[in-house]
Each structure stands twice: as structure tokens, then as C-alpha cells.
Amino acid sequence: MAENNSTADSKDVVLRSSIDRSLRHPVMFLFASGALWLVLSIVLGLVASAKKHNPEFLTCFSWLDAGKVDAAHMSAMIYGWGLQAAFGIIIWLMARLSRKECTASGIILWAAHVWNAVVSYGIIRIMMGEGSGVTYMEFPSEVWPLLLVCYTTITIWSLVQFQVRDAGHVYVSQWYLLAGLLWFPWIAVTAWVFVFLMDGHPLMVAGVAGWFKGTLFSLFFLPVALGSAYYLAPKVTGRPVYSYNIALFGFWSLAVFGPWAGMEKLFGAPVPQFLPYAGAASMILILIPAIAVGYNIIKTVIGNSEVIAESPSLRFTAAGIVLFVVFGGLSVLLHTVPALKLTQFTYTGYGFDVLGLYGVFSLCAFGAIYFIVPRITRREWLSRRFIKWHFFCSIYGISSVVICAIAGGLSQGQGIEDLSQPFGTMAERATQFSWGVTLAWAFILFANLFFCLHLFLMWARLGRRSSHPTLLDAHHPTSPHGPEGEVDNYSSASA
């Protein structure tokens, strides 16, 4: 019996090792190029934020004009960093959970290169002043079909793996990943067709663009983040997910409320009034899946405070989930009718979007990257100090961006509503808050420069060859990943 268990364990290790080996090159390329884009997007965000309190900053460079650099900043963050990190997480997680090796690594790697080339082209066109001007779809119209083809080329293999998985339980993570994989082409194709292809009414085009902006987060980035969290929390703590029923409820509540998000951006526009109100209602109801997922994940990891403190993966993931609950709460406050009226044309929307993209999605993605990279490179992270700096500077930075942007936006909104004051007063009200945002982006840049460096060192396989994972506490008595750590078990499965 013991022999059978041992044989089954070693077969399992061989299988996991072969899955990791099959995905090493595409996943590392996606993570590394995504990290570079993240650094670039933060630099652009710094410049964009600096221009808000100092409009003369870098005016000698016309390609860094405020409108261009704002658009380039968000496009680089979403399409350069966010989508590539999501691809890497999706293809690795789905392969592991379906227990199938990837047979299309070369194709995925090729498509990832094309994705980077297309995104670079799009960013350059934006900075030349040839962006489309549509929020979150700033790239010129000819870019979108290429991005959709690359998306399909990268992710279709994960759908095939899911379909041919061994019969058995479908994990919670797989629900979220599968849903995200299918939702993205729906929202992207619909938005591209209505905004760029069809000659529709301009107001409806604006509505569809707003809908795409809302659902890109709620129906793609959020499911990927939650799928990753539902994998890592039980994996690292060694405990099952606290409640299957709450997980089911959280998933379906996101599936019901998520698709309605986005049109609250048209509040006050001459469109049928049920559209922005439905969007606002769905953003308020996002609190329900936020509480469900937050409660489930936190109950799974609670009682293991040492593990959360020591494990980089779990620390980042837990922080991302906590910020998801904060996101849900803020969503309720910011999408009531009085709040929408006050904050519609202010800094607040930017702070809220950054909370979602960086605070929720990116922190969960960092947790996944800190878990996945040692397994596919068979090296451990070099420096716990880099990881700590990355974590604390990210948390401090994102909190500051969100607090300053939202507070600044509320102050701006009061200025807009005060008709006895000149319009310039409104802009001046946000000056000190935009200084705060600029400083916060500087902290986040510092954090991610070290993350990028660390990741490139791992890509070059200069990480530690060790049987024990890199933990954040140097004095841990035992490893939360087990006495030998998973990396060591690969020695029997080496090629």
C-alpha cells in the first residue's frame, strides 16, 4: 500500500515536472515581457500624474502630451502587463489543473512575440497622436483583429486541455479561468465591431466603449485573479477551500452582475436612463461576490498567519483579495447617484480603476508569479529583501494612489458643483492630491523595478538551487511547503 502510494506520488511529480517543462518558455516570456511593460506603464503614469500638477513638465516632447501619455499609460498597463500576466497564469494553471502537458508551446511563444509587437505598435501610434480616443481601446482600429488572433492563438490550447482533462472534479479555479477565457472574446469582439466597424449612433458607441471598460475588469481580469487565489490559498496552506457552496455562490453572482458593469460612465448622457442606472446597480452589487470570495479565501487561510507572513505567494494573494473586498465597498460608495454626480468628471474614476487593475488583479498576479516561476525554472527566488520591498512599496503605493485620487476627485467634484467659483478653482483643488499620486507611483515604480530585475534573473536561471523555497522569514522553524519542498522532488524526474 505504502509502495503504491509512493509510486503514485512519484508519477504525479513526473507529470507535474513535465507540465512545467513544457510551459517554461512561453510562461516565462509572458511574465518577463509583462513585467517590462508594467515598468513602462508606471513611468508613463508618473509623467501623466506630474502633468496634472505641473502642466509644463516635459512639454518639449510633443509625444508626451497629457492626453497621449494618459492613454499610453493605461494601454501599456492593460495590454502590455495585465493581459500578458493573465495569459501566463491561465495557461499554467489550466495545464496543471487539467493535468495535461502543453503541446503548443512554440505556437504560444510565437503568438506572445506578435502580441508584444502589436502592443508596441499601438503605443507608438498613441504617442504619435493617432490613438482612437476611446477609453481602454486607444489603439488604432487595425490593431484589434491582430490582438484577437493572438489571444485566440495563446489561449485556445487551455480550452482544449480542459476538454480532454481526466474525468473528475472541476476545480473552482477552472470555473473562473474557463469563464474568463470565454467572456473576453465576447466583450472584445462586440466592442470592436460596434465601436470601430459598424457605423452606429455615436452615443451608443460611447455606451459600448464604457461597457467594454467595465466588463474588461469584471469579466476577465477579476476571474483570472480569483482563479489564481482559489488555487494558491488551499495549495500553500495545505487546507481545502473553506466552503464549496460559497465558492459556487461567489462565481455565479459575479457571472450575473459582472456583464452589466460599465454604462454608469454615461450617467447624465442623453441615453435611455436604465442603461447608466443598470451599470451603477451592477457595480454596487459587485460587493456581493467580493464579500463571498473574500470570506471564503480568508476563512481558508485564517489560523495560518505564519504561512501568510512567510509565503510571498500567499502574502500577495491575500493582499489582493483584501483589496477586492475594499474595491467592493468603495464601489457601493462611489456608484450611488449623488456620488456619481459629484465624481463623474474627476480623478476618482482613475483611482478606482487603478485599485482594480493594480490593487486586485496585479497583486494576485504577483502572488501567482512568485509561485509559478520557481516551478518552471527549477530555481528559487534569490532575495527575500527584493520580495519584501516589492510587497511593501506596492501596498503603500497603491493605497496612496487610491486615497489621493479618490479624495482629490471628491474635492474636484465639489469644485465643479460650486457654480459661484471659476472653473480653474476646480483644477487647483486637486493639485495637492495629484502630488500624492505622483509620489505614490514613484514608490510603485521602485517596487516593480526590483520585481523586474528579480524576474529576469530567474529567467536567466540564476536563482538559488535549493530544496527549500524562498520565504520571507529567515528564522522559520519549518517550511510551510513541506520538509523538502516541491523543487527538490524534480531531481528524480530530470530529463
Partner 1 sequence: MDHTRDNPLKRFSAFWIAILLATSFGIALIITQPFAPDKTDKAYEMVSEGRLEIKDGIDRAQDDALNEAALAEALSPS
**Which residues lie near partner 1 (CB under 8 A)?**
100, 148, 152, 156, 159-160, 163-167, 182, 185-186, 189-190, 193-194, 198, 201
User: d(Cα 358, Cα 127) in Å, to the nearest integer?
Assistant: 23
To partner 1, the closest distance from the beta carbon of 144 in angstroms equals 11
Q: Closer CB to partner 1, residue 145 or residue 329?
A: 145
Most distant CA pair in the chain: distance in Å? Answer: 83
**CA–CA distances in Å: residue 495 to residues 121, 289, 438:** 40, 44, 49
Q: Which is nearer to partner 1, 37 or 171 (CB)?
A: 171
3-state helix, strand, coil in the chain (%, to 5): 80, 0, 20
Give the nearer residue to partner 1 in terms of CB position, either 189 or 332: 189
Consecutive H or E run containing 7? helix 2-53
Please give the Cα distance from 182 to 90 (Å, whole number): 12
- Least spacing, CB of residue 268 vs partner 1, in Å: 23
Burial class for 8, CB neighbours closer than 10 Å (0-12, 13-18, 19+): exposed
| Dihedral (CA of 71, 452, 185, 170) sign | negative
Q: Which residue, 167 or 495, has its beta carbon nearer to partner 1?
A: 167
**Closest separation in Å from C-beta 150 to partner 1:** 12
433, 426, 429, 443: which is closest to 404 by C-alpha? Answer: 433
By beta-carbon proximity to partner 1, the closer residue of 124 and 170 is 170
66: nearest Cα among 38, 41, 45: 45
User: Closest separation between CB of residue 408 and partner 1, Å?
Assistant: 33
Residue 199 near residue 336 (C-beta atoms within 8 A) = no
For the CB of residue 106, give the shortest distance to partner 1 in the complex, in Å: 16
**DSSP-assigned letters across all residues of 294-336:** HHHHHHHHTT-HHHHHH-HHHHHHHHHHHHHHHHHHHHHHHTS
State in angstroms the smallest separation of the CB of 186 from partner 1: 5
**Which lies closer to partner 1 via its Cβ, residue 44 or residue 206?**
206
Q: Which residue has the cell 498597463?
A: 77
Q: Which is nearer to partner 1, 77 or 191 (CB)?
A: 191
Choose between 189 and 298: whose C-beta lies nearer to partner 1: 189
Distance CA(50)–CA(56), nearest Å, equals 9
Kindly write down the DSSP assignment for every residue of 131-163, as one continuous string.
Answer: ----TT--S-TTHHHHHHHHHHHHHHHHHHHHH
Cell digits of residue 55: 502642466
- Cβ-based nearer residue to partner 1, 195 or 266: 195
CB 271 within 8 A of CB 325: no
The C-alpha atoms of residue 197 and residue 181 are separated, in whole angstroms, by 23
Contact 293, 453 (CB under 8 A): no
**Entry field: residues in the chain:** 495
CB 261 → partner 1: shortest distance, Å?
18
Instruction: Return the number of the residue (59 or 491) whose C-beta is nearest partner 1.
Output: 59
Coil/strand/helix, residue 100: coil
What is the nearest approach in angstroms of partner 1 to the Cβ of residue 133? 22
Q: What angle do CA 451, 454, 460 make, to 5 degrees?
A: 140
For the chain, helix (H) and strand (E) counts, in that order, are: 19, 0
CA distance linking residue 281 with residue 467, whole number of Å: 50
Listed residue (392, 395, 365) closest to 455, CA to CA: 365
Complex with partner 1: residue 193 or 256, whichever CB lies closer: 193
- Of the two residues 25 and 165, which places its CB atom closer to partner 1 in the complex? 165
CA 252 to CA 276: how far, in whole Å? 22
Which one, 190 or 243, has the nearer CB to partner 1?
Answer: 190
